[in-house]
C-alpha cells in the first residue's frame, strides 16, 4: 500500500450495481448500516443521471475505495442546486487526493446539468470533513438541526 503522504492514483467512474457491496461497506465507515442489496436497489432507483449521480473511486487493481452521491435539489424558495448526499473514502486511504477527485466529479456533473451551486450537509462531529470542504472552496452558510418523523 502507498505511504501515508503519497497521493493515491485512482479512476473515478459512475457507480454500477456490482459496486453495491463496496459502497455499503464504505457507508458503514460513515456510520450508516446498509447492505449490498439495499445499495443496489437505491442505485436502481437513481437511474436518472440528470437528477442523481453516484461516482466511485477505483484503484488500478479495481478496488472501490470511495464514493460520492449527488442529486438535484429543487425548492420553491431557492434556485435549483446540487447537493452532495454522501462522500466517503476508505479510512486507510484518506488525505491522498481521492476525496478531491470524487468532489471534482460531483462538481463537474452539477455544472453539466445546469446547477450554479453545490452544497453539502455535514454532521457537526466531522471536523476533518469540515476542513476538507473549506479547503476545497466551500463556505459555511448555515448551522441547523434536522428533524425527522417516520411516515
**pLDDT greater than 80 at residue 86:** yes
Cα gap 148→139, rounded to integer Å: 26
Q: Which cell numbers in the block locate residue 83?
A: 447537493
Q: pLDDT tens for residues 10-41?
A: 999 999 999 999 999 999 999 999 999 999 99
Cα gap 72→95, rounded to integer Å: 27
| Pick from 124, 125, 116, 119: nearest CA to 139 | 119
Answer yes or no: pTM beyond 0.95. no
**pLDDT greater than 50 at residue 137:** yes
Identify the DSSP state of 132: H
Sign for the pseudo-dihedral over CA of 42, 114, 85, 144: negative
Domains of the chain: 11-135 (3.40.630.30)
**pLDDT greater than 70 at residue 5:** no
Amino acid at each position: 500500500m502507498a505511504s501515508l503522504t503519497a497521493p493515491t492514483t485512482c479512476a473515478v467512474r459512475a457507480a454500477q450495481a456490482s459496486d453495491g457491496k463496496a459502497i455499503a461497506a464504505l457507508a458503514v465507515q460513515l456510520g450508516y448500516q446498509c447492505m449490498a442489496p439495499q445499495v443496489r436497489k437505491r442505485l436502481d432507483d437513481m437511474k436518472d443521471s440528470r437528477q442523481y449521480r453516484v461516482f466511485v473511486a477505483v484503484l488500478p487493481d479495481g478496488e472501490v475505495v470511495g464514493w460520492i452521491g449527488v442529486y438535484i435539489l429543487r425548492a420553491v424558495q431557492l434556485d435549483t442546486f446540487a447537493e452532495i448526499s454522501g462522500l466517503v473514502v476508505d479510512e486507510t486511504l484518506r488525505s491522498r487526493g481521492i476525496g478531491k477527485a470524487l468532489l471534482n466529479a460531483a462538481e463537474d456533473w452539477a455544472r453539466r446539468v445546469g446547477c450554479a451551486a453545490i452544497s453539502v450537509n455535514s454532521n457537526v462531529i466531522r471536523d476533518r470533513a469540515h476542513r476538507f470542504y473549506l479547503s476545497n472552496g466551500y463556505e459555511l452558510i448555515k448551522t441547523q438541526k434536522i428533524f425527522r418523523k417516520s411516515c
